[in-house]
Amino acid sequence: MMEIDKNSLGFQILQNAFRFLVNVGFVFVFQMIFGMENTLVGVAIGVGFTMLPMCNLDLKPMTMFLIIVLLYGGSGLIGQVTLINPWLAFIGNFLFVSLIILLSNEPLHSKPNISFLLCFVFAQSTVVKWEQFPMRMMACVIGGLFVGGCVLWRWHSHHYGGDIGFKEQILRCQKNRSYLLRMSFGIALAMLIGSLLQLRKPLWISIVVMSLTQLEFSETLERIKHRFIGTLIGVVLFFIFFQVLIPQKYAIWVVMLLGYVGFFLPDYKYKQVINAVSALNASLVILDTMTAIETRILCLTAGILIVLMIYLMTKLIRKLHIKSMDLLKNQIDQFFLNMETKKEVAMK
């Protein structure tokens, strides 16, 4: 039997084509079942479907199953609060993103939180009418049950998983408190701004904050550079492709081709170019070309400013905390020193 070279270009082309078809097929079926208004939710759950069953995490399989159902289902529920009151939604969004981080931030190298954050950001940015809300919840819960079932089946058949339960998972995820607070407050603030300003594409702010908020500030700065440059390049390519060279009726095929090419360019900086082109083309349903470009750049700038502002705030708070602790320690030391002096005087 001929041995397959998994490093060959031919194998990578076929493998990426299969992955691409699975992703597109999942979203297409999801959209057919739950409706166009839940397409982006389907994209996020599709990310979980292609990622989570393949990850050999150290959580108990049933713990992972419950986390998946809880966080996907909660995304649909909490995301809808925006229709009730934006300030109430701000509190709910902050608490729910904190829950996502507390339940899925570890192990860090596998980044299991990505799909859940995406699902929540997508659900919140595409809130549905109340008569459509039951279908939204069905999409999130059934999608969660499906992905969770796939995790249980694959983990059992491949002997994946470990012995980490809910309590242990929360304890180890809460160690990165600065990241938890920055991500939770940043996404909640971005969503509040989008709601108060009634932006037609609020996702373009919250997704930037989600993507740029990283554990280490050096990685955040690196991502800001790549996202800004990638967006500008994407804007230029979008204008050349879809306003000059390619008729709009063929745009969807070009976008799909770019999506397939993205499997060969996994680096963050390259994906931002493709994301910008795809997002701008999709926005033409509700925005004209120049408005779409201006909105994309303004939302990117706003997201970057939010991330930097929150980082500077946390850094300032940390410095003030250290200074206050040092001051308190000095006061305590001085108190005991004075007591010791008084004791010595009394003995004389």
Report the chain's mean pLDDT, rounded to a whole number: 87
> SS in 3 state form for 146-215?
HHHHHHHHHHHHCCCCCCECHHHHHHHHCCCHHHHHHHHHHHHHHHHHHHHCCCCCCHHHHHHHHHHCCC
Structure tokens at 344: 């010595």
pLDDT of 3 = 54
Contact between 251 and 263 (Cβ < 8 Å): no
Q: What is the pLDDT of residues 288-298, one digit of tens each?
A: 888 888 999 99
Max distance between CA atoms of the chain, in angstroms, equals 99
> pLDDT tens for residues 115-152?
999 999 999 999 999 999 999 999 999 999 999 999 99
Q: How many CB atoms lie within 10 A of CB 305?
A: 12
By C-alpha distance, which of 171, 158, 150 is closest to 106? Answer: 171
- Quote the CA–CA distance of 164 and 250 in Å, as a whole number: 49
Residues 6+ apart with CB under 8 A from 83: 127, 130
pTM assigned to the model: 0.88
What is the C-alpha radius of gyration for the chain, rounded to an integer number of angstroms?
24
Cβ neighbour number for residue 121 with a 10 Å cutoff: 27
Least confident range of 44-48, 72-76, 125-129, 239-243: 239-243
pLDDT band at residue 330 under the 50/70/90 scheme: low
Whether residue 76 contacts residue 137, with contact meaning beta carbons closer than 8 Å, is answered with yes
Q: Which two tokens stand for residue 311?
A: 């980082």
Q: Out of 1-5, 76-80, 311-315, 329-333, which region has the weakest mean confidence (pLDDT)?
A: 1-5
